[in-house]
């Protein structure tokens, strides 16, 4: 397998064309439809190119030669063909999940409202719902063409015309923004190729590379991190659906064992799930000795989780040196930093907790491979490695916009060719987020992406310590506080201001949702209804978002801190919660019994 000359291709569609010409019979993608090895579906580059071409031709026949096309198929090989076909037809792909269930449908419709697609490519089982979808769209959104591919959709049409009309932008990625306020990240073909190139450089070349992924194909890590990377690099990717993984995490490691996988990826929670749920009996059927690179990113990487995973799977050949903590975000296409290839263990630092809360990374002592013991007053932070080739990370004081020296925490800013063009239809937000310049920089100096994440650099490595933005990340899902707060408001008419934020759970190595809500009533009324209020809030949040709030504080007016313009000050409310200074209802005085 020869690595591609990177400069020779202007898009991934051209990369596919190249592969289909040079190595048509080589395996490109393998999908495990039931999550096990029983009925794998294999596509070679030749087959993939033929199917993508067929999709492009069918779109062309329907007059879809430009504009946005939402791709909302189930995970599988058709998703890959759909994606490349849309781009080949001259359209911009908008990857999305299928509109299944209340939450997903609400988000799906808000994506449609935001990007005004000319067409939606989704599973035929949603055909009966089209009228219902249309009724829920904003009246100004034009009704898209609905395409429900049947198998012949992936066969070249009789006309034989296969377009090759790749145009900009390549793709709109929705991953940030709440349901009520989605933000579409506009990615160019160069962004997608740049992300592949920097990851290729970071990972190095391997003759026998085989990837495995259960990540959703509509999320940046699944799409840009696995599908596009595999196509670009010319190595096969074994895919299973996220549902099959979550139902039984053993399937991931079994697929790695069975298909001689050398590279894989997952968020922190996936490593925990495996370490906790895989039985001793299952363990005996695993062989992880071929695995050389396992990326872990998308949420804070826990040193403890990594150790638990290493310990559990070392007996079946897992090499701890293969773990690669990494950091990235869809606004930078995907990859920003990762453990250097040469390093054989994860780097963690023990830092003084109080100093870190004030923004200074003061080492208490260094940990090479870590023994898991953390002193009180100390936090352990895992390094997310070195910054992507040709990219720059600046740590900036978010208030003064002054660049900070090594070891000081501030907002992570990124510059480089993987950084997206901006948010669809949002010039002001785009200028603010993508066009940042540090204080006193010349007007024509380079601009940076403000990531909204907090971290510091130390000896050339990036450590991510928190989020400036209020996003709550739980089990690999990004939850928007506004959406959760909205559910709480619905739960009870006497609850008004709400603040939702994340705090580390006492019980698990994860964050949990914490809610602070104001109750519009007297202390006595509160005491009488407290139990019901808690039940209703918990039920509403669990039902709407699939997460159970870890802690709920209901207090009198004033317990949720607000700005003068009426915005919830989540971070300040969170701090007051931690400091124990939140307003509370007086504890009811125990009824005094009168002795007569």
Residues 462-501 as x/- pattern, contact with ligand 649 by CB under 6 A: --x--x----------x-----------------------
Torsion of CA 220, 221, 222, 223, to 10 degrees: 40
Q: Reduced to 3 states, what is the DSSP secondary structure of residue 119? A: strand
Nearer to ligand 649, 463 or 519 (CB): 463
The token duo for 387 is: 């910054």
Minimum distance of ligand 649 from residue 177's CB (angstroms): 11
Q: Does 385 bind ligand 649 (CB under 6 A)?
A: no
What is the rounded CA–CA span in Å between residue 468 and residue 513?
17
Of residues 167-206, those binding ligand 649 (CB under 6 A): 175, 199
Nearer to ligand 649, 60 or 325 (CB): 325
Residues 514-533 as x/- pattern, contact with ligand 649 by CB under 6 A: --------------------
Minimum distance of ligand 649 from residue 219's CB (angstroms): 6
Which listed range, 89-97, 105-113, 296-304, 565-573, lies at the site for ligand 649 (CB under 6 A)? 296-304
**Of 253, 326, 449, 560, the one binding ligand 649 by CB under 6 A:** 326
Nearer to ligand 649, 166 or 388 (CB): 388
What is the rounded CA–CA span in Å between residue 427 and residue 417?
20
The token duo for 418 is: 């993987």
Q: Does 384 bind ligand 649 (CB under 6 A)?
A: yes
Which listed range, 15-23, 135-143, 329-337, 575-583, lies at the site for ligand 649 (CB under 6 A)? 329-337
Minimum distance of ligand 649 from residue 349's CB (angstroms): 14
Minimum distance of ligand 649 from residue 539's CB (angstroms): 28
Token pair 């922190």 is at which residue? 268
Minimum distance of ligand 649 from residue 37's CB (angstroms): 18
Q: Does 263 bind ligand 649 (CB under 6 A)?
A: yes
121 in Cβ contact with 73 (< 8 Å): yes
Q: Does 335 bind ligand 649 (CB under 6 A)?
A: yes
Which conformational region is residue 35 in: left (phi greater than 0), alpha (psi within -120 to 50 degrees), or beta?
left
How does strand 41-44 pair with strand 392-396?
unpaired
Q: Does 328 bind ligand 649 (CB under 6 A)?
A: yes
Q: Reduced to 3 states, what is the DSSP secondary structure of residue 456? A: strand
What is the rounded CA–CA span in Å between residue 243 and residue 258?
20
What is the rounded CA–CA span in Å between residue 215 and residue 241?
7
Which listed range, 38-46, 153-161, 259-267, 491-499, lies at the site for ligand 649 (CB under 6 A)? 259-267
Q: Does 270 bind ligand 649 (CB under 6 A)?
A: no
CA nearest neighbour of 514 among 548, 467, 562, 466: 548
The token duo for 2 is: 């020869």
Nearer to ligand 649, 421 or 562 (CB): 421
The string of DSSP codes covering 498-529 is: EEEEEEE-SSSSSEEEEEEEEE-S-HHHHHHH
What is the rounded CA–CA span in Å between residue 519 and residue 560?
10
What are 450's strand-pairing partners? Answer: 413
The string of DSSP codes covering 10-52 is: SSHHHHHHHHHHH-TTSEEEEE-TTSSSSS-EEEEHHHHHHHH
Which listed range, 275-283, 298-306, 439-447, 486-494, lies at the site for ligand 649 (CB under 6 A)? 298-306
What is the rounded CA–CA span in Å between residue 72 and residue 21?
29
Total number of residues that touch ligand 649 (CB under 6 A): 34
Of residues 204-233, those binding ligand 649 (CB under 6 A): 211, 213, 220-221, 225-226, 229-230
**Of 178, 451, 487, 573, the one binding ligand 649 by CB under 6 A:** 451
Nearer to ligand 649, 108 or 335 (CB): 335
**Of 298, 378, 433, 487, the one binding ligand 649 by CB under 6 A:** 298
What are 101's strand-pairing partners? Answer: none
Minimum distance of ligand 649 from residue 294's CB (angstroms): 8
The token duo for 528 is: 């009488």
Q: Does 269 bind ligand 649 (CB under 6 A)?
A: no
The token duo for 213 is: 């992924």
Q: Does 299 bind ligand 649 (CB under 6 A)?
A: yes
Nearer to ligand 649, 153 or 418 (CB): 418
CA nearest neighbour of 517 among 470, 465, 570, 560: 560
Chain residues binding ligand 649 by CB under 6 A are 175, 199, 211, 213, 220-221, 225-226, 229-230, 237, 263-265, 295, 297-301, 325-330, 334-335, 384, 451, 453, 464, 467, 478
């Amino acid at each position: 397998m020869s690595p591609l000359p990177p400069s020779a291709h202007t898009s991934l569609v051209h990369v596919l064309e190249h592969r289909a010409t040079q190595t048509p019979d080589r395996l490109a993608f393998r999908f495990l439809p039931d999550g096990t090895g029983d009925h794998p579906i294999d596509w070679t580059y030749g087959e993939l190119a033929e199917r993508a071409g067929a999709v492009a031709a069918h779109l062309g026949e329907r007059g879809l030669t430009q504009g946005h096309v939402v791709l909302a198929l189930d995970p599988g090989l058709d998703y890959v063909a759909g994606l490349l076909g849309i781009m080949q037809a001259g359209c911009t792909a908008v990857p999305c999940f299928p509109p299944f269930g209340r939450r997903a449908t609400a988000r799906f419709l808000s994506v449609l409202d935001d990007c005004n697609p000319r067409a939606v490519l989704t599973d035929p089982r949603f055909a009966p719902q089209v009228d219902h979808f249309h009724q829920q769209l904003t009246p100004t959104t034009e009704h898209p063409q609905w395409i429900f591919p049947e198998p012949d959709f992936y066969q070249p049409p009789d006309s034989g015309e296969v377009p090759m009309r790749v145009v900009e932008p390549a793709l709109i990625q929705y991953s940030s923004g709440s349901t009520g306020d989605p933000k579409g990240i506009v990615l160019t073909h160069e962004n997608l190729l740049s992300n592949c190139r920097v990851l290729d450089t970071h990972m190095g070349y391997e003759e026998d590379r085989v990837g495995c992924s259960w990540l959703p194909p509509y999320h940046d890590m699944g799409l840009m991190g696995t599908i596009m990377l595999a196509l670009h690099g010319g190595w096969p990717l074994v895919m299973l659906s996220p549902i099959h993984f979550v139902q039984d995490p053993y399937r991931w490691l079994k697929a790695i064992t069975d298909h001689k996988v050398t590279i894989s990826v997952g968020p922190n929670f996936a490593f925990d799930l495996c370490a906790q749920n895989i039985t001793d009996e299952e363990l005996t059927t695993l062989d992880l000795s071929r695995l050389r690179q396992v990326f872990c990113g998308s949420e804070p990487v826990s040193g403890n989780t990594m150790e638990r995973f290493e310990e559990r799977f070392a007996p079946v050949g897992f090499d701890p040196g293969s773990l690669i903590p990494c950091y990235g975000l869809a606004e930078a296409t995907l990859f920003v930093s990762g453990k250097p290839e040469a390093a054989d263990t994860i780097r963690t630092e023990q830092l003084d907790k109080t100093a870190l809360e004030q923004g200074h990374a003061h080492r208490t002592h260094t940990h090479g491979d870590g023994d898991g013991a953390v002193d009180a007053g100390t936090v352990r932070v895992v390094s997310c490695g070195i910054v992507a080739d040709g990219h720059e990370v600046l740590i900036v004081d978010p208030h003064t916009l002054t660049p900070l020296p090594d070891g000081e925490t501030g907002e992570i800013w990124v510059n480089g060719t993987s950084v997206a063009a901006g948010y669809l239809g949002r010039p002001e937000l785009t200028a603010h987020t993508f066009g940042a310049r540090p204080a006193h920089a010349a007007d024509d100096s380079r601009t940076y992406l403000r990531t909204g994440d907090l971290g510091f650099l130390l000896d050339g490595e990036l450590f991510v310590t928190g989020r400036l933005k209020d996003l709550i990340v739980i089990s690999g899902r990004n939850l928007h506080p506004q959406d959760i707060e909205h559910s709480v408001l619905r739960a009870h008419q006497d609850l008004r201001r709400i603040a939702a934020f994340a705090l580390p759970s006492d019980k698990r190595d994860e964050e949990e949702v914490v809610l602070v809500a104001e109750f519009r009533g007297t202390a006595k009324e509160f005491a009488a209804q407290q139990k019901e209020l808690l039940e209703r809030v918990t039920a509403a949040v669990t039902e709407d978002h699939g997460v159970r709030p870890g802690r709920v504080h209901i207090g009198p007016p004033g317990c949720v801190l607000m700005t003068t313009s009426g915005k919830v000050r989540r971070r300040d409310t969170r701090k007051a919660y931690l400091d124990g200074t939140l307003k509370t209802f007086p504890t009811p005085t125990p009824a005094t019994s009168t002795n007569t």
